[in-house]
Structure 1
């Protein structure tokens, strides 16, 4: 699955707002959280923080559900699943027949079910040749389980078939089997789809809803004749149901069909679609949908077998014209995956369904990928670079899952990273780099994923990549930057250490050994060890099983350098009890002698300290290429020397080195290992940099500074002046017009420079964009606004306008025919208005008209586009907590709503008010995100207290030099 924050990161071109994720977060039960807080109590004491206050605020949690896992006395092997969908009445009903292997003698059967009405449960035993009924199933709503009891025990080693009828409501819950809506020709219409990961298949049909319990599935869908049915597999047969002539051979299905009616029509209104049987798969990957869909079609030829497979993308008819690019990407990347893994895609087709309402970003259902409009649609006439990247990454990420997760599946959610870390690395870097090498995605990974992961993992409230998941609340919360970005970063580090070719060969070995099976971490290490001859567990175990990452301190002496590793925390040096892990750190030592550069990837640090004999009179650097998952701390003098050499371009230090340098020193300054002035000095040294991705890293970090000091007007004004001095000259040099012949790098640099100059208040840029927006409003023709500048232009237009501009942006959001990127831009613009009446309307609009999936965009917009609304945004969340919690009940994204509402506050009273608000709430769905939010607030507060004078003095000196 791709986190919605992956989409937000690219769409908004702002740093991710989270106090965790994503790519997201949620986490644990009361006992695990308590242990986290005990381990982190020192930071609360040393930062003047009350441990008891946090403990009180997070105390009201349900007890750990020790029996969350199902008993294994019986195991499912095959499901015959029939679903009848009634869109007009918003209900579904069905029958499931489940073939079982009886492992131990039992007279009870326990399976998962939630929010369903069950009926007509019966069990047929092959060994006993009898059919048994259970008329009173025992439901445990909290555990989401059902227990059936039968008078005659089933013998061990026998086979049985369980048959159950079920029914439920089609709601807008964005999980289970739910409905989504769109407007077409002035009429609101509905369709349905599934979202089962991680534990919502049980909300659609009774099942053994655990990844380990794989089975085959034969899906039958009953629906109105004017709708389209989709599922994981191809349609095997489809026929019209005619009450007078259609024979019902299966008695258990008679109730379903008897309820069908032709109403007043002489023609049948219902049809039956039977799908081919799937290979063995986990329940969370089962998918089906029903609606009046349109589609585009393509195909690809397998490089392994020569077989041609159909590829389709489905959506509602009003937006299907925006889906071609996603379809084209699918056709491009599938054969590359097959070649790399040496494993053919096993299903007869691969569809994508674009949904208007979707909780995550996208979902890797085997054979039927689903996801948001913003994940898969773009304007074919005016596609901006951000949209192209977003759609490419989403489609490729989900296709990576066809192997990582779908064919080979983690044994339990503890190992989620085996799915998501690989899909992040493979789908967003290795594969995309082969399709679009000019995008420099390996370099972009540093800002998009590595730095994001390190920011989250620098907290005591982080969690290991491989993390214990005792219940559904914990499972939902680990869909975060640690399972995605950190896992992908650690795998990228391993790939660089052993060599990508050997790494991918090991991955192929791993997949082939576990086709259609389930895996744990050691299975992966065995495959890579076999291909490389390297003791992979020795290198990797602590990176996967331990919280955090190291900061490497480099001390120069007469013998070379002494390198020491300690755990890095954003709050400052770790206390001894939090600094016990010794990582095996690939040092990637770069040394230079004139133009001759050497990188030694063999040297590792697997002790607390190590001395390396090098000539420190020549340029050197650890973590060459920024592949290591750690920060490096040098003296101020060495940092400046590296920056001065880096300012010369690629001669010694690569693009990756320069990006990593900027991120490292800013993170180190936040933690107090060096001064912010040192970081600003490095940025100033790099002011003639030519590469977009270095400027992107600079922009992200200056945004962080401004966002942190947002209530210090003088500091913000001076930072904006510094930002204008950096970016306005780039705008002057590159202008506002884009050319198809220019490089991707130039296009992206122009976009970034205009955006930064505008937000920093450069008068020339602001007036240019205001003029273009005014013309757009007057003529409804946006041809003078380049697609890549649309977001910045509308933000500037509304921020510097009034009610008329605000209403224009709102109309763009409400127009479903506009590309998704325009809709998100419109949200951000609405939130950036300086008109008090408009902002009041925006807060009302969030609950009255905004789609649930878009609330996160509104909250982020109010936090990042309009600093004065930050506390109002937090108060809005508190005032409407009950409704918001209900709307997002069971969804991934509520944790992100919590983080976004409070994640940018910095005052002591903010902290206490958050603690007081949540102390009587059941926070079990988002307690990790909440604890991370509180920890971030404290860290920001400490940074402000420690560094305000330093920042102010540096900026004052810079202004004098600039005059």
Structure 2
């Protein structure tokens, strides 16, 4: 019998090939076409069940068997994203049939399925169309078997207006005029000049990777020679004409990483080309469609005439990530979405760490990984409402919730830990073996462990299984004795010690013990693996030692106060045994431990105070990030908040006074980023001199209309400063930047920054703009900006609650609602706010954002307890610091 799973398709048939024809009318914003699916009948059946969205208006359906004529079939009513086709006669097992279905629909406006995106040409709004199918929206563009394991090849044909460009996964084989008067497609206007573009057949792939787009695109192109095959592969980056000149950096980064991946994986890139399309409206950051990457223009655009490290690093990270997917995810695909991390964690670790370390060593991305992924993941995983990396998700409607920092960042962190433990070369060899064993196939976690086990000779499942199948991560508590150290592992929770029933998991923990011998030589013991609850280890505690050397392990470490003080002082020495990664990891560990009540909050400030002479911008940025968290938490306690700001100014204002505000050409990256961090921290610390300088620079922009005196590195803080302290003219100028499509990075910065205004009329204007004018993708960014402003918190909450029905409908099919819940309520820190969120959602259908809601409620509860527990300790430390500073 065929499988009968209410969430999964029956297994009695399997698609082998799709011949898909799609016509697009950008003027009417309609599309339609037909799909012919070549099917293998695995079990005798008279019904065929596939996926189909209610968006599609279905026309004729027919089955062709054994070379006979098409036989009309009965379409049974669509239900829960499925379509049942009734065959006129039984289809025998082992036979091959073709199923043909016609369809028509409107282009969506929801950033998924086949949807429209707006852009400005000569002051007029025009539209183009593109696809975003991950995870389950191919069914919104054409009837299909929309599950990752049901791979098939695709031959795509596109019919469009004569003056537009068609692109898809594969290269075009032909393009000709098309006579609509002889067409059978209903809805295709006879009064328009059409053309037809045919594309090469693709390799077998999952439906979520199918892609096509139609619009007035232009492109930049270059060729790369691939190291294994010696083939020359054309690379293109497509965009609308107004921004195409800002795509060169993306193109050049693609040319760097694609050949390197082929060499690292020892597997040829299988497609004849790789394109990237920059979109004005996009749900996520970018998407790895095979041969046609798509992504937000603000992520990818880089002005070739301006120095903008953040824009370059951001574009490079995203493109390296998406290009890694051409192997991870596209050639070899997870069996089902519960193994999403096999795609996303790999692309995050290999793309954003291993690859960019090779292409941009000066960026120190492996160190930045601690702030961009490691800490973000552990902060979320420290909650009871977290989930395992490998999370059960039978219902496809639940899928958007697991595209989070656990699937991406925690998954990447545990892979990074494994690579460090076994050695990066052996790890990559195992990855290559894994890919080769499953080319064009689908995999589960065990397949990956098998490949790495073969390459290393180690029992990888024993080491790794609990890291991906169990919720949470360990806290390693270190105590000392005359004979060495005693270590114990327990689950770490940011709300405090776990209950007994929450503390069952025993992880295999690479302890990575750093020691310094009597000659000053640093040693790291990579063999120490904690596989039990606790054990004693021989370590010379008379000298320097530290666990989790390089912050490579996915865990926190708790030392005695005396040992922590010794480690902190060691870090201040010239030629310290502690690396940059160690120092950054220590800051985040102490901040997390203080949140959980396992160490006083004052420990964080004592550490930062000891490190006043630190020169590395990443350490300072990590310190300020954590200080800002405390400032936001204590924003209602005015005396503590003001003292925290004064402490921040004492750290960073001397750096501003030394480094100034300008970023000269040729300056080293370290100095530039240290200046950026110092200005940002001093401005948020409400320093008057920095405030006035930034206001003056924004005033120059309003007079000249150019960003000459607002370097890209301090664009965000300059805009934020203007919103907070400026009047009506500054507010109007910021909205002019928001609506200027020529500079997406500046527009994004202004969207976030404008929420800093403390003018209630301006806050109300932002709320109205979000309701009536803002792009869907920008609503959440507006909200996150307002969330950093305590004056706006009440307005933010009311916006969500007053417009809940409209927002639920607006974001019904994409991933935005979960982020909206976080943006509007994560800032809460009182019992009243907790009860308000809980009560409002009691009678709501929260199935599409249930995890985000649980995490928000837990965040507020943890914050309430943290503030109450830490208030006296923090106040006492700040008063003491104030006295010492006089």
Identify the TM-score tier after normalising by the shorter chain: over 0.9
Task: Give the equivalent residue in structure 2 for 1:194.
Answer: 131
Q: Is 1:583 aligned to residue 507 of structure 2?
A: yes
Say whether the 8 Å CA contact 1:571–1:939 is kept in structure 2: yes
Task: Name which of 388, 394, 418 aligns with 1:494.
Answer: 418
Partner of 2:195: 271
Aligned partner of 1:880 among 803, 809, 813:
803
Aligned position for 1:436: 360
CA contact (8 A) 2:74 2:86 kept: no
Between the aligned partners of 2:728 and 2:753, the Cα distance in structure 1 is 12
2:822 to 896, 899, 911: 899
> Is 1:802–1:833's contact at 8 Å kept on the other side of the alignment?
no
Tell me which moved more, 198-207 or 341-350: 341-350
How far residue 66 of structure 1 moved from its aligned partner, in angstroms, is 5.2
Structure 1 equivalent of residue 145 of structure 2: 208
Aligned to 2:480: 556
Which residue in 2 is equivalent to 1:867? 790
412-421 or 797-806, which deviates more: 797-806
Moved more, 652-661 or 725-734: 725-734
Q: 2:49 maps to what in 1?
A: 110
Aligned to 1:256: 185
Structure-2 separation of matches of 1:552 and 1:176: 46
Report 1:361-760 matches (<5 A).
361-594=285-518, 595-760=520-685
**Contact 2:180–2:188 (CA<8 Å) still a contact in 1?**
no
* Candidates 832, 846, 852, aligned match of 1:923: 846
Distance 2:447 2:858 in 1: 35
Q: How many angstroms apart in 1 are the aligned matches of 2:215 and 2:479?
A: 65
2:164 to 227, 231, 250: 227
- Secondary structure at the residue paired with 1:757? helix
Structure 2 CA distance for partners of 1:243 and 1:574, relative to 1, 3 Å: closer
Alpha-carbon displacement from aligned partner over 1:138-184 (angstroms, at most 9, x marks no partner): 311xx200111123111111111000001111121111001011111
Question: In structure 1, what is the Cα distance between the partners aligned to 2:686 and 2:304?
Answer: 32
Aligned CA RMSD, in angstroms, stands at 1.3
Cα deviation, 1:541-561, whole Å, max 9, x if unaligned, reads 000100000000001112211
1:195 and 1:902 mapped to 2: Cα distance? 28
| Matching of residue 137 in structure 1 with residue 76 in structure 2 | yes
Q: Matched residues in 1 for 2:355 and 2:758: separation?
A: 43
Question: What's the CA shift for 1:786?
Answer: 1.8
Mind listing any 5+ residue stretches in structure 2 that lack a counterpart?
A: none
Q: Which residue does the alignment assign to 1:6? A: none
Cα distance in 1 for residues equivalent to 2:795 and 2:750: 20
Partner of 1:333: 257
Q: Is residue 944 from structure 1 mapped to residue 867 from structure 2 by the alignment? A: yes
Matched, 1:161 2:98: yes
Matching residue of 1:97: 36
Please give the alpha-carbon distance, in whole angstroms, between the structure 2 residues aligned to 1:745 and 1:509.
39
Encode CA deviations 1:663-711: one digit per residue, 9 max, x unaligned. Answer: 0011000001010011211111111111111111101101111111121
Aligned to 1:240, the other structure's residue is in SS state: strand
1:814 aligns with 2:739: yes
Measure the CA separation in 1 of the matches of 2:242 and 2:697. 28
Shift of 1:243: 5.5
Please tell me whether the aligned partners of residues 439 and 745 of structure 1 are also in contact (alpha carbons under 8 angstroms): no
SS of aligned partner of 1:118: strand
Using the TM superposition, name which of 884-893 and 491-500 deviates more.
884-893
The TM-score with structure 2 as length reference comes to 0.98
Structure 2 residue 699 is the aligned partner of structure 1 residue 774: yes
The CA distance in 1 between the partners of 2:740 and 2:268, in whole Å, is: 41
Matched residue of 2:550: which SS? Answer: coil
CA contact (8 A) 2:19 2:156 kept: yes
CA distance in 2, matches of 1:829, 1:678: 32
Correspondence 1:315 to 2:252: no
1:53-73 per-position Cα deviation (integer Å, ceiling 9, x unaligned): xxxxxxxxxxxx951100110
Q: Would you say how many aligned residue pairs link Structure 1 and Structure 2?
A: 881
Change (3 A) 1:258 1:667: closer
1:67 correspondence with 2:6: yes
Cα distance, 1:797 vs. partner?
2.2
Deviation of the 1:827 alpha carbon:
1.4
Report the equivalent of 2:878. 955
C-alpha offsets along residues 93-141 of structure 1, whole Å, 9 cap, x if unaligned?
11000000110000000000002111211111228x464322342311x
Instruction: Determine which of 267, 280, 283 is the counterpart of 1:343.
Output: 267
CA separation of 1:786 and 1:756: change in aligned 2, threshold 3 A = same
- Tell me how far 1:869 sits from its aligned partner: 0.7
Q: 2:19·2:36 contact (CA, 8 Å) conserved in 1? A: yes
Q: Does 1:297 align with 2:221?
A: yes
- Structure-2 separation of matches of 1:614 and 1:502: 28
Return the alpha-carbon distance in structure 2 between the equivalents of residues 82 and 498 of structure 1: 49
> How far has the Cα of 1:260 moved from its partner?
4.0
Q: What secondary structure, in the 3-state scheme, does the structure 1 residue paired with 2:241 have?
A: coil
Distance 1:257 1:932, change over 3 A: closer
Contact 2:73–2:88 (8 Å) recurs in 1: no
SS of the residue corresponding to residue 625 of structure 1 reads: helix
Contact kept in structure 2, 1:91 and 1:168, CA below 8 Å: yes
Query: Contact 1:220 / 1:273 at 8 angstroms: preserved in 2?
Result: yes
Task: Name stretches of at least 5 consecutive residues in structure 1 with no aligned partner.
Answer: 1-64, 249-253, 264-268
Q: 1:805 maps to which residue?
A: 730
Answer whether contact 2:617 2:673 (CA < 8 A) is retained.
Answer: yes
In structure 2, the CA distance between the partners of 1:821 and 1:258, relative to structure 1 (3 Å rule), is closer
SS in 1 for 2:184: helix
Cα distance in 2 between the residues matched to 1:782 and 1:424: 33
Instruction: State the secondary structure of the residue aligned to 2:174.
Output: strand
Displacement of 1:739 in angstroms is: 2.7
- 1:351-366 aligned at under 5 Å gives the runs 351-366=275-290
Partners of 2:74 and 2:87 within 8 A in 1: no
Q: How far off its partner does 1:782 sit?
A: 2.1
Q: Secondary structure at the match of 2:384?
A: coil
Offset of residue 649 of structure 1: 4.8
- 2: CA distance, partners of 1:348 / 1:450: 36
C-alpha distance in 1 between matches for 2:100 and 2:75: 14
Provide the C-alpha distance between the structure 1 equivalents of 2:825 and 2:758, rounded to a whole number of angstroms.
Answer: 21
Match of 1:21 in 2: none
TM-score normalized by structure 1?
Answer: 0.90
Alignment partner of 1:146 out of 83, 93, 96 = 83
- Give the CA deviation at 1:651: 2.4
Alignment of 1:78 with 2:7, yes or no, is no
Give the one of 172, 175, 178 matched to 2:109. Answer: 172
Deviation for aligned residue 1:836: 2.2
Alignment correspondent of 1:17: none
Shift of 1:258: 8.9
Offset, 1:259: 3.8
> CA offset at residue 778 of structure 1?
1.5
